[in-house]
């Protein structure tokens, strides 16, 4: 796929020398910034996206896109294309040496529009998002616009931007920083970014195999995630293998803390490692990189009229595919809230709940990521012995499988303590409660529940229809798969937020209770 560019051009406000006030300016044109721009535009909020580059970055980088993220992409108009172009998978295998320790299935139950995971290189996903942005007249994407200054007061934000034609100022009601782990915006705000930097280094190698090659039993027709602890071809370390789109395979080699980075960058060294792993099968090296990662987050996600999202707000290790997925889910959480505030439909405090919920999600992801890294790279003799015991027992005992951690794969965080949620008044059985992600299910007339929710507040009515002025109602059977997944029965009502999070639920319809829960979900504490 030819990657689109967003070349620099002078804006009207540059030529006129007079800043034009914008409702929202997004800093950073990666997957998070582009997703947020599309979300806001679909809510009729005009957006300007600025980036210090004018092209999509090279290499695979983020590869695994989780079911929740795919549902967000689908609402933004690119989900089906990503799922069609990428490699779908839901199963994985973990090996200790040459022996299988255990295998898993991320989505054993059918009845979901989107698969558990799709592998598609980040540049390909970004290309889809850039094209969608360029086709939307409510979004202006400006390349080679580097943010170098930022001031704000109670009414707005002034951004000083450097371009090939010099400096100029932009003005915005709100600014969202999606400008990566080295975020200039976060630095200008003086927000701390604390956590743990891990000393281990890892090598990424993207390779293409010769037609028909199936080393170590790889089957391109049945892709799985394979992870090795102490494999015979890379003793004492770990290796991760993923199938990618367009015939690429992604291999991550753990190199250890003492690795000579300059030596490991040499193509002949990389090819030797890949050749050993592929058991001599012919291949071509398409791209490689050596990385070192951190698990940390910003001390604030909101400073006045400036908000942080994606890597600008948090970083995790790549094990578990929690980085880009959690960033897109930041955008999903923020988009409807920011649009509601811009349009006067929600109180300013609604943006504080973005900080509350997404800091909770960041801490959740960092915890999972840190535990996986500690297991993959034990730091003491005792932790190494415990890891060896868990791996040895895993083929024989289920409890030991739960101890083996090659990266707990990305799942959305449940915000059970969210101030936007209305606590249950009735007794409910199994099923996600307020603050939890709303499950998908097939609809009787065709289509999917995630499509019917479509990024708005929705009332799910199980068993018979109800009416609430200004609120869309989706009527579902009182029994069946959807009712089971929600723990509903005939007469049950579930209020779902625009980011497909359950806001409230009842076993009987009460229009006043629904109105009160909707006001609470919009941050209107005075109603």
For the segment 36-74, what is each residue's pLDDT rounded down to a tens digit?
Answer: 999 999 999 999 999 999 999 887 789 999 999 999 999
Task: Indicate the range of 1-15, 262-276, 339-353 predicted with least confidence.
Answer: 1-15
Q: Considering the chain, what percentage of its residues have pLDDT values greater than 70?
A: 99
Of 106-110, 291-295, 481-485, which gets the smallest average pLDDT?
291-295
Instruction: For residue 526, name the pLDDT band (cuts at 50, 70, 90).
Output: low
| Residue 397 CB contacts under 8 Å (≥ 6 apart), including other chains | none
- State the average pLDDT over residues 467-485: 95
- Nearest alpha-carbon partner for 357 in 431, 415, 276, 421: 415
Name the token pair of 509: 């319809």
Mean confidence (pLDDT) of the chain: 94
With beta carbons less than 8 A apart as the criterion, state whether 321 and 64 touch. yes
Taking the alpha carbons at both ends of the chain, their separation in whole angstroms is 52
The number of CA neighbours under 13 Å toward the Cβ of 175 is: 31
Q: Is pLDDT above 70 for 380?
A: yes
pLDDT at 84 over 70: yes
Name residues whose C-beta falls within 8 Å of residue 399's C-beta, 6 or more positions apart in sequence. Answer: none
Q: How many CA atoms lie within 13 A of 23 on its CB side?
A: 19
- DSSP per residue over 32-101, as a string? HHHHHHHHHHHTT--EEEE-S-SBPPPS--S-EEEHHHHHHHHHTT-HHHHHHHSEEE-EEEEEETTEEE
Does residue 285 register a pLDDT over 90?
Answer: yes
Count how many Cα atoms sit within 13 Å of the Cα of residue 416 in the half-sphere of its side chain. 5
Can you read off the two tokens belonging to residue 450?
A: 């995630």
Q: How confident is the model at residue 79 (pLDDT cuts 50, 70, 90)?
A: very high
pLDDT band at 475 (very low <50, low <70, confident <90, very high): very high
Q: Are 439 and 525 in contact (CB under 8 A)?
A: no
Model pTM score: 0.96
pLDDT at 214: 81
Q: Are 13 and 165 in contact (CB under 8 A)?
A: no
Nearest to 181 by CA among 55, 63, 330, 316: 316
Average pLDDT on 146-156 reads 97
Contact 319, 376 (CB under 8 A): yes
What is d(CA 131, CA 497) in angstroms, rounded to the nearest whole number? 28
Rounded to whole angstroms, what are the CA distances from 68 to 4, 88, 275, 447?
Answer: 26, 14, 36, 17
- How confident is the model over 239-254, as a mean pLDDT? 92
* Angle value at C-alpha 254, between 94 and 229, nearest 5 degrees: 25
DSSP string, 453-516: HTTS-EEEEESS---BTTBEEEEE-SSSHHHHHHT--TT-EEEE-TTSBEEEEESS--HHHHHH
Average pLDDT over residues 229-258: 93
Mean pLDDT of 369-388: 93
Helix (H, G, I), strand (E, B) or coil at 451: helix
Res 220 pLDDT > 90: no
Residue 511 backbone phi and psi in degrees, to 5:
-60, -40
Beta strands in 198-244 (DSSP E): 201-209, 225-229, 238-243
pLDDT at 1: 65
The set of residues, in sequence order, having a beta carbon less than 8 Å from that of 88 and lying 6+ positions away, is 115, 117, 118, 223
- Residue 470 CB contacts under 8 Å (≥ 6 apart), including other chains: none
Measuring CA to CA, which residue among 466, 257, 468 is closest to residue 376?
257
**Is the distance from CB of 86 to CB of 122 less than 8 angstroms?**
no
Residues 189-217, mean pLDDT to the nearest whole number: 89
| pLDDT band at 179; cut points 50, 70, 90 | very high
Structure tokens at 464: 């018979």
Distance of alpha carbon 116 from alpha carbon 466, whole angstroms: 33
pLDDT band at 213 (very low <50, low <70, confident <90, very high): confident
pLDDT, tens digit, 9 for 90 and up, residues 484-513: 999 999 999 999 999 999 999 999 999 999
Tokens for 516? Answer: 């009160």
- Choice between 175 and 197, residue whose per-residue pLDDT is larger: 175
What is the average per-residue pLDDT within 333-352? 96
The closest alpha carbon to 200, from 295, 265, 292, belongs to: 292
């Amino acid at each position: 796929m030819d990657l689109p560019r967003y070349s620099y051009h002078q804006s009207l406000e540059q030529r006129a020398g007079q800043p034009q006030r914008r409702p929202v300016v997004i800093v950073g044109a990666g997957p998070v910034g582009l997703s947020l721009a599309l979300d806001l535009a679909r809510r009729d909020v005009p957006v300007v996206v600025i980036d210090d580059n004018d092209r999509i970055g090279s290499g695979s980088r983020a590869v695994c896109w989780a079911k929740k993220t795919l549902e967000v992409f689908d609402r933004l108009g690119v989900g089906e294309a990503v799922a069609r172009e990428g490699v779908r998978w839901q199963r994985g295998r973990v090996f200790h040496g040459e022996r299988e320790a255990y295998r898993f299935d991320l989505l054993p139950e059918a009845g979901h529009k989107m698969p558990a995971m799709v592998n598609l290189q980040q540049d390909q996903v970004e290309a889809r998002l850039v094209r969608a942005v360029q086709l939307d007249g409510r979004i202006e994407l400006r390349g080679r616009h580097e943010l170098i200054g930022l001031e704000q007061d109670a009414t707005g934000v002034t951004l000083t931007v450097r371009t090939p034609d010099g400096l100029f100022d932009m003005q915005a009601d709100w600014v969202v920083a999606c400008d990566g782990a080295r975020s200039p915006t976060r630095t200008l705000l003086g927000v701390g970014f604390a956590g743990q930097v891990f000393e281990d280094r890892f090598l990424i190698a993207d390779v293409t195999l010769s037609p028909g090659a199936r080393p170590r039993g790889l089957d391109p027709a049945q892709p799985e995630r394979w992870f090795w602890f102490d494999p015979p071809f890379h003793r004492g370390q770990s290796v991760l293998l993923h199938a990618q789109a367009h015939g690429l395979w992604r291999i991550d080699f753990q190199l250890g803390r003492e690795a000579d980075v300059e030596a490991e960058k040499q193509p002949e060294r990389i090819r030797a490692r890949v050749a050993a792993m592929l058991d001599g099968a012919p291949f071509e090296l398409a791209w490689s990189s050596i990385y070192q990662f951190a698990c940390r987050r910003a001390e604030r996600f909101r400073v006045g009229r400036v908000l942080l999202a994606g890597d600008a707000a948090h970083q995790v290790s790549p094990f578990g595919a929690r980085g880009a997925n959690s960033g897109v889910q930041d955008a999903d959480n923020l988009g409807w809230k920011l649009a509601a505030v811009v349009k006067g439909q929600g109180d300013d405090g609604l943006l504080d709940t973005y900080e509350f919920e997404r800091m909770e999600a960041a801490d959740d992801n960092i915890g999972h990521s840190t535990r996986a890294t500690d297991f993959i790279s034990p730091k003491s003799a005792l932790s190494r012995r415990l890891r060896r015991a868990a791996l040895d027992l895993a083929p024989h005992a289920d409890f030991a499988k739960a101890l083996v951690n090659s990266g707990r794969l990305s799942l959305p965080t449940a915000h059970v303590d969210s101030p936007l949620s209305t606590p249950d008044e009735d007794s409910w059985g199994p099923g996600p409660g307020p603050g939890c992600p709303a499950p998908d299910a097939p609809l009787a007339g065709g289509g999917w529940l995630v499509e019917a929710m479509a990024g708005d507040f929705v009332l799910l009515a199980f068993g018979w229809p109800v009416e609430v002025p200004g609120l869309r109602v989706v009527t579902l059977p009182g029994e069946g798969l959807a009712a089971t997944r929600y723990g509903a029965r005939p007469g049950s009502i579930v209020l779902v937020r625009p980011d497909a999070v359950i806001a409230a639920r009842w076993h009987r319809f009460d229009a006043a209770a629904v109105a009160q829960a909707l006001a609470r979900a919009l941050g209107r504490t005075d109603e």
